[in-house]
Chain A
């Protein structure tokens, strides 16, 4: 079956530090890959996506590249801010039985300190 692996954290960084959150996956077929962000007390929000190999998704200074050869979709940001403190979920979207099936990672908590 499909699976997504990411560290649970927490990852603690100082403001303006470089961020990498690793995400690897196993899947059959050709999945689309997504990152979602969940701020405290809120639902998940779509952050960025990539639909095929070598695509780069980007939004709000975050980037991730769909690497088929390493089955990875690592999230990066060059300079984090306190407001980036949240839980980040890597997700794999596939189609099965006529509907869109999503497999979420466990979520990585990011804490950015001033």
Chain B
């Protein structure tokens, strides 16, 4: 049982470049989330999805876009990367009432 798989695990981008982070879950969870984790700031919600074809903004959505075309996948896009987006990104999924299952993270550096 793979759980939540994030790709890539590491990435270095130049300012202005774009990229897509992929999250895939095999637990048939309805809810999926993207967080960023920064030192001293804990976890902050970027975007979330309550089901296939739906997305919504979290606390810090600016500079990011998401899509959930298939129930098992949740994509996070950066259209024009900025140094302030240097962070560790975590995807999570859940079933109603249960705790979250997290991926192992993507460490992104924007130079």
Interface residues of A (CB under 8 A from B): 8, 32, 34, 36, 41-46, 49, 51, 89, 93, 98-100, 102, 104-107
Contact = CB atoms under 8 A, between A and B. Distances in A.
A98 B50 contact: yes
Nearest to B41: A106
Given A43-B90, A98-B50, A99-B48, A49 B99 contact: yes
Nearest to A6: B42
Contact of B42 (A42, A51, A104): A104
B42 A106 contact: yes
Interface string B68-107: 0000000000000000000000101010110111111100
Contact of B31 (A43, A46, A99, A105): A99
Contacts, number: 49
Contact of B99 (A8, A43, A46): A46
A8 B103 CA distance: 23
Contact of B102 (A8, A32, A41, A44): A44
A43 B50 contact: no
Given A34-B99, A43-B90, A46-B100, A89 B43 contact: yes
24 contacts: A32-B97, A41-B104, A43-B90, A43-B92, A43-B102, A43-B103, A43-B105, A44-B43, A44-B90, A44-B100, A44-B102, A46-B99, A46-B101, A51-B97, A89-B43, A99-B31, A99-B48, A100-B31, A100-B97, A104-B42, A106-B40, A106-B41, A106-B42, A107-B42
A42 B105 contact: yes
B4 to A, nearest CB: 8
